[in-house]
A and B are shown apart, each in its own frame.
Chain A
Amino acid sequence: MSGASTRSRWTSETGPASLFGGKDAPLFGRRQRRPRGPRLPVIAVTGFLGSGKTTLIRALLDKPEGANTAVVVNEYGEIGIDNALLRSSSDVTVLLGNGCLCCNIRTDLQETLRGLFADRARGAVPSFERVVIETSGLADPGPVLQTFATDRALGREFYLQALVSVVDAVNGEGNLERMPEAKKQVALADRIIVSKSDLVDPGATGRVVEYIASLNAAPVTNAVNGEIEPSFLLDEPLSTRQRFDLGDTEHSHGLCSFSLFFDEPLSWPSFEQTMAVLTALRGHDLLRVKGFLALHECRGPVVVHFVQHVAHPPVELEDWPDADRRSRLVFVTRDLPRELVAQLFASVAQIVAPLVHRAPQAPIVLS
């Protein structure tokens, strides 16, 4: 998909909404109670080889909260070992082909999940209600995130609820220092788990946690033998406030992480065109953008999610997750600092403003 693909495809005046939308047609389809709507939640677990991903997933499956989970394992190297560990405790386990999930195997992941969904619909596998994907240690999480972006792939059936990164307290700091993939796994994660903290002194664990905090403001917890509160893995966060409130980590290790807040509602064309410029010119460096928008055109807040040049379909919620009604976006970028992005938003908003005020009722179609 090219950078221009974020162009007004969701504000199209043709299509079912123009025939059957009704008086109260939401711009992005039915307003949802939560970002995932009715879609099946997917939890993707990343982490370097030996960091404890399998232990974590096994521990989850052993708990009542882990029932009705389908597990997809992407094992790099020794096929079958991890898969055999998981099969005994999970309803459905699928082993992906040998290889790393980041590039060529992405198609396998799509086919596997599509097959799982079809098998579930026809009753060939039990009625699972979530999927946990264990990625291979070397996987770049970006393509996994992109996999769920579009209807053409899996975006209609599945929703990536959480990208979880496991960092072990023993080798984690070294991996993060040396391996760009490890750094990226942590930088993009929604939740981070520090494993094996029982094997090192508290000071060492503290240093790993500090390193993680310099890359990402996501919640962090410790796990020993994979034991954590299942909700840390499974719950859909109603509020991502925590992420927005923590400080920026700009220019740390070449990765920037920062938040933007907008006191006034945005217009969709303004937001869309700003993102079109960013994805077209710097999509490769736009590792992940997530957030809530207060839009002129919508009653509820709109959840947006971009991974590099790919935009997930926006979802309008019935209500805000908390009292804060401001648009807010969190960016994880490579050498793309906050000032430039903020300036671009401001400039495009000024260009679009007269159009929005001229015809406040009609959505503007830019094509």
Chain B
Amino acid sequence: MTDTAIWNFRQLAHHELDGFGGIGEGMSIQIAKDGRRILWLAHESAPKNFTAVDVSDPRAPKIVARADLPQSHMRSNSLETVGDIMAVAYQTKEQGLQPAGFELFDISVPENPRSITFFDCSGPHSRGVHQLWFADGEYIHMSSSAPDFTPTHPRDDQFYRIIDVKNPSKPVEVGRWWLPGTRQGDSEPPPVRHPEGADTGFRPHNTNVYPERPDRAYLGYIDGGMVILDISDKARPKMVARWDYHPPYHGFTHTVVPFFDRNLFIVSDECVRTEGGDWPKLVWIVDGRTEANPVPIATCPLPPLDNYMRRGARYGAHNLYENLPKPNAWKSDRIVLATYFNGGLRAYDTTNPYQPAEIGYFVPAPPERAPSGAIQINDVFVDERQIVYTVDRHVGGLYTLEMDF
């Protein structure tokens, strides 16, 4: 078995979450009324919905709550908290199933999350919500289907939606945007499909909005590349830039994180095939000085191909730490933290954005019950204490770390 490889991180703890250690892309910190620091985690797949872990002492994480999904054909995958409100995304395995949408919870008592409301997105062509962004307590920005949306191609079933949740018991859609040509009835032609096997859809993954630019939404638009929207009028988002680098690259643009003061975008792909089938899946450094014309200037060095490609399961980029605009989240416009599935968690210094330099990594030994025999580090979050939380996609659960660079 491969040993843990660790450089310039210090591991504080590992919690396998009592046999349910498959975690998706939702990681959010709540400071409970009694002062406890609760990390809410969305599970990658059924049967679990979410798990709450008390990480007040990051060396001794403790499970405080856990919820099951009502249906085995659902996954939650994504969640966010603001204060004592938590939003959880629900996506179904196939279109037309229920429940598909998102649910808001009152988590003022972390042991007892209470449902406030369920926002239904189900419909004949809907799988519901894959990912949501909820940072200001007022709006949810999400990648979602809708009952009234018929895509021109079944893989383009999700699009960008803005939901007003100022009244959490009555969420209301206030705006939406889709890539022209992906909805039936559009005057534009549908986009040219990626080759079969690499056709992962023209739909958003992450939909990030920051207080530095409340009039912008930064979308990883999967096979459509990076999209920047002007959302100064939420009812009518307008595209201001699109950077599409596929082909020759294999699609699945995942996350766009702006480094505002530095006019840079950090853009990640998601690796979705095993054993290097869609290599290279990368983290890109993009020059954003001219907003309408984003220019890629570098990529972060991948974990070495020879050493990782055949370790099992996926090898390549996935999630970035997103500088969440919340008080209990770390901010850095120099350091990039990225997850690479079997390549673990990697840290890069972008001080010279033309030559991002790897400055640390954490590749835990494969968990004992790993189905592929490999670790699959999936997502990362950093709190304001600079404690790093990272998770395995299948069974490994939660790892807590300190940055040592």
Contacts and interface: CB of A to CB of B under 8 A. Distances in A.
A129 B8 CA distance: 8
Contacts of B261: 22-24
A156 B358 CA distance: 11
Contact of B262 (A21, A124, A156): A21
A129 B263 CA distance: 34
Interface residues of B, number: 31
A38 B360 contact: yes
B351 A30 contact: yes
Given A19-B289, A22-B261, A38-B359, A30 B349 contact: yes
A187 B173 CA distance: 73
Interface string A17-48: 10111111000011001000110000000000
Interface residues of A, number: 21
Given A121-B304, A127-B6, A20 B357 contact: no
A16 interface: yes
Nearest to A32: B405
B7 A37 contact: no
A30 B259 CA distance: 14
Contact of A38 (B3, B287, B352, B405): B405
Q: Is the interface of A mostly helix, strand, loop or mixed?
A: loop
Contact of B259 (A17, A22, A38): A22
- From A19, A23, A24, A124, residue with most partner B Cβ within 10 Å: A19
Contacts of A121: 301, 304, 358
A123 B304 contact: yes
B263 A20 contact: yes
A284 B359 CA distance: 34
B7 A129 contact: yes
B34 interface: no
Contacts of B289: 19
A127 B353 contact: no
A153 to B, nearest CB: 16
A299 to B, nearest CB: 14
Contacts of A29: 351-352
A122 interface: yes
Contacts of A19: 263, 287, 289
B333 A22 contact: yes
B174 interface: no
Contacts of A129: 7
Contact of B5 (A22, A23, A127): A127
Given A16-B352, A19-B289, A30-B334, 12 more contacts: A16-B354, A37-B359, A38-B357, A38-B360, A121-B304, A121-B358, A122-B307, A123-B304, A123-B306, A123-B307, A127-B6, A129-B7
8 contacts: A19-B263, A19-B289, A24-B261, A30-B335, A30-B349, A38-B357, A123-B308, A156-B357
Interface of B: 3, 5-8, 259, 261-264, 287, 289, 301, 304, 306-308, 333-335, 347, 349, 351-354, 357-360, 405
